[in-house]
Amino acid sequence: MSSSRTRPFAILLLLGAVAGLLFASVSTFDFAQHLDRQVHGLHCSFIPGIIAPDASGTSGCHITLMSPYSSVLRSRLWGGIPVSLPGMGIFAFLVWRALSWLVAGRDDDRAGAQVLVLGSAVPVAATLVMGGLALMVLDAFCKVCAGIYISSFVSAVGAFGVFLRLAPPGEEEQEQLDEDGLPLPALAPRTSFLPMVLALGAYCLVPAVAWAALAPDQGRYVGTCGSLGVSDDPHTVLVPLDGHAGATAAVEILDPLCPSCKGFETRLAASGLGPRLDRKVLLFPLDATCNWMVGTTMHAGACTVSEAILCAGDQGPAVIDWAFAHQDEIRTASEADPEAAARMATAAFPAVRDCIGKPAVRTRLNQGLRWAVKNELPVMTPQLYVDGTRMCDADTDLGLDFALGRMLDRKGGAR
């Protein structure tokens, strides 16, 4: 067994790896649930299982899971392969190696300690990348992710501690004798570095390959969720968003203060498929002050911001970007003061000051709602219609890259 020289750090490594394995497993489980194309609550707690899964769709865990950074190979597999899956493999590897060190390790096994350092450095590197994206790009705090990050650093401290506490080079351990003076069984052999590196790779790759092989076929659902009945726009209620010449025509239904709409735009931009779409937007504020199809206001201020977008003319897309960037503050201010959204919009875009609230723009917004009724659109956002074909709701989040790519290929849109 390892001596007291490295044992405390090996125990620290084991505890960090076990915690990391738990948090990565919870994240992978939450991801896997969505493969049935239904809505599921997410475990968003530092102690998963203590509180009920969150199904609101507004938590930092939801924003992170649905972001384009939560998985890889999304265009080839519906949802892709979650990055937490190889994370599970790395932490499982560290659990194995930490236990091996505690049970049969030797304090002059420099290659074995190097394997521990290498293995623990991988999740630390992933933490720096993923944590940076969550903080700087997504502006979201995911408690389960934070658990993985903390576990990564704890494991790394343990691994580096083991390495630094190794017996100095040239200091061989003394042969151990039993009470009768006879030699005890030989010390455990030193670790062979290359096989352990290959084992680390296998711990990461084998689960990913198995996931890809066993993932359900979602291709049969693409493009099966309805279509637009009426495509003409006599009252000019559709706001041009992209203007990509030769691209496939698309209509997007959005609420400028809808977090899910903002997330959809982030995923679409990351997918690289945006230039293949010539999008127009139908504004559908989930705000009862103007939308008579909703019973209660979900996004206070959305009607006013929608008017600002219509008033802005060619600057409409810029107003949408501004609204996405300030959603929380606009909603919060509008809940306290119904006039707050108008003040904020006119401060950012002075040209809309004499238009917001006027009968003409309110009529145009109402005509857009009637266009939605004429097409029997569901009362929800976001929605996307590609050349008149509706993208299924389940495909607007994790399955966006997979489903939209196939819809565009079928339509023959520009590449």
Provide block-wise average pLDDT over 10 residues at a time, the chain (415 residues): 77 96 94 88 78 73 89 93 96 95 81 92 94 87 92 96 81 49 55 88 95 91 90 89 86 94 92 93 96 93 96 94 95 95 96 94 95 93 94 92 92 56
CA distance 125 to 7: 25
Report the largest interatomic distance among the alpha carbons of the chain, rounded to a whole angstrom.
102
CA distance 238 to 247: 17
- Rounded to two decimals, what is the model's pTM? 0.83
Residues whose CB is less than 8 angstroms from the CB of residue 10 and which lie 6 or more positions away in sequence, other chains included: 2, 98, 101, 102, 105, 158, 162
Cis peptide before 8 (omega within 30 of 0): no
CB-based contacts of 336-340 (< 8 A; 24+ apart in sequence): 338/289, 338/300, 340/301
How far apart, in Å, do the first and last CA atoms of the chain sit? 61
State the CB neighbour count (10 A cutoff) for residue 269.
Answer: 11
Could you tell me where in the chain the CATH 1.20.1440.130 domains are found?
Answer: 7-214
Give the pLDDT confidence score for residue 177 in this predicted structure: 45
CA distance 160 to 236: 64
CA distance 81 to 21: 17
Side chain identity at 5, as an amino acid letter?
A: R
Classify 7-214 by CATH class: mainly alpha
Length of the chain: 415
Give the pLDDT confidence score for residue 38 in this predicted structure: 85
Give the pLDDT confidence score for residue 178 in this predicted structure: 44
Give the pLDDT confidence score for residue 184 in this predicted structure: 44
Residues whose CB is less than 8 angstroms from the CB of residue 15 and which lie 6 or more positions away in sequence, other chains included: 154, 158
Buried b / exposed e over 325-348, threshold 16 CB at 10 Å, is ebbeebbebbeeeeebbbebbbee
Tell me which CATH homologous superfamily contains domain 238-411.
Glutaredoxin (3.40.30.10)
Give the pLDDT confidence score for residue 412 in this predicted structure: 62
Could you tell me where in the chain the CATH 3.40.30.10 domains are found?
Answer: 238-411
CA distance 324 to 321: 5
Beta bridge partners of 283: 254
CA 396, 382, 360 angle in degrees (round to 5)? 155
Beta bridge partners of 238: 282
Give the pLDDT confidence score for residue 187 in this predicted structure: 54
Q: Quick one: which of 284, 224, 223, 275 has its CA closest to 252?
A: 284
Is residue 250 helix, strand or coil?
Answer: strand
